[in-house]
A and B are shown apart, each in its own frame.
Chain A
Amino acid sequence: MDERARKREIWFRPVLVWVALCALLATTCTLSYVPLGGFSLPVALCIAALKGALVGAIFMRLFENNALNRLAAAAGPIWVFVMFLLMGADYFTR
């Protein structure tokens, strides 16, 4: 493979992810002006989670990483989920 083709290959997947991130940014920004009532925040947070997952999986190479790093990375969202679950069980059921 010549140098240009190798450089094109280096750019290809990250640029696809960047285009997807920009499209999601435009979507979430536009949707914030649409009256969705109580769904506004969950929709915006789902889009943010999708963007974060794209950055983690492709840019941070979790997709192609070893199991040890994937496990370490998974600990973050898991403990955040537990914290919000226990907190919600108190504050939002009063």
Chain B
Amino acid sequence: MSDAFLRKPFESLERQHMAVSFGMWVFLVSEILLFAGLFAGYSIYRGLYPHGFLAAGRETDIVYGTVNTAILMTSSLTIAVAGRAARADFGRMAWRLLVVTFVLGLSFLILKGFEYREDIGKHLLPGPDFPLAQPGAQIFFSYYWIMTGVHAVHVTCGLIALLRLIAISRKNFAWLSGSASEDATALYWHLVDIIWIVLYPLLYLVGRSHG
């Protein structure tokens, strides 16, 4: 690794990489707590309105939800292998896998857009036209829109970070293993995947076994 990637105030690349990953983990924990607040609110309302949540949960599209889960998990695989490839000096392979990760992330957002269009078509936005009468059903969909919306913002931020990596390393593959940016972006992307893994059973698997 070249010292060209060394930034102040660090005296060695090793310490710089350690600081970046530690700083990133601290940030990710703050992100976990942000979503935990939403999960807490969801749990309380689900406890207060179990029937409304079961009825509303059946209205989400499990096909979109499941396919999108598989897409995000696959993008986690490609970015994990990209990091390993970069560290093993397979820069071109790492760069290509980052492009695949970006395409998968973009596909996730596009599918989410189609799903939102379908939801809006079924009047599932809380308001006077909402089709379900059960108490709490509108609250479930308030959480659905807020949690998937905040998550989509995170995916968008991840895509911007990925695009930055792809653009900067296009003519300098060594930058991917040297600068620690790849490591930080990958950690963020994996967290976005983990958040979705938790959202999936809360929003898409609710009430499926009830008539």
Residues of B within 8 A of A18 (CB): 73-74, 76-77
Identify which of B3-11, B79-87, B130-138, B140-148 touches chain A. Answer: B79-87
Residue-wise, chain B 18-37 has the 8 Å CB interface mask toward A (1 for contact) of 10011001101100110010
Closest beta carbon of chain B to A57's beta carbon, Å: 11
Beta-carbon contacts under 8 Å, A44-78 to B: 44-45, 47-48, 51-52, 55-56, 58-60, 65-66, 68-69, 72-73, 75-77
- How would you classify the secondary structure of chain B's contact residues: helix, strand, loop or mixed? helix
Residues of B within 8 A of A87 (CB): 40, 43-44
Residues of B within 8 A of A59 (CB): 76-77, 79-80, 190
Residue-wise, chain B 103-123 has the 8 Å CB interface mask toward A (1 for contact) of 000000000000000000000
> Is the CB–CB distance between B40 and A15 below 8 Å?
no
Residues of A within 8 A of B191 (CB): 60
> Is the CB–CB distance between B73 and A25 below 8 Å?
yes
> Is the CB–CB distance between B29 and A72 below 8 Å?
yes
> Is the CB–CB distance between B47 and A6 below 8 Å?
no
How distant is the Cα of A15 from the Cα of B93 in the complex, in angstroms?
A: 16
Residue-wise, chain B 42-72 has the 8 Å CB interface mask toward A (1 for contact) of 0110010000000000000010001001100
Instruction: Let me know if B187 is at the binding interface, CB within 8 A.
Output: yes
Closest beta carbon of chain B to A52's beta carbon, Å: 5
